[in-house]
Chains A and B, each alone.
Chain A
Amino acid sequence: MGKLVDYAEAHRILSKYGINSARSAYIESASDAIKFSAGEPIVMKVISQQALHKSKNGLVKLRLYTAKDISSAFSELRDSARKLKLDKYKILVQEMVAEGVEIIVGGSVDPQFGKMILLGLGGIYVEIFRDVALRVCPIGEYDAESMIHQLRSSNVIAPDKKADAKVKSILLKVSKMLAENEILELDLNPIILTRAGYAAVDLRIIK
Chain B
Amino acid sequence: MLIATLVLTLLGLTLGGLLGLAARFFAVEEASPIVKEIEGMLPGSQCGQCGFPGCSPAAEAMANGSAEVTCCPPGGRALAENLAKLLDIDLSTLGETAEPQTAVINEDLCTGCTRCYKACPTDAIVGASKQIHVVYADACTGCNQCVDACPEDCISLISEPVTLTRWHWTKPEAA
Does chain A bind chain B? Answer: no
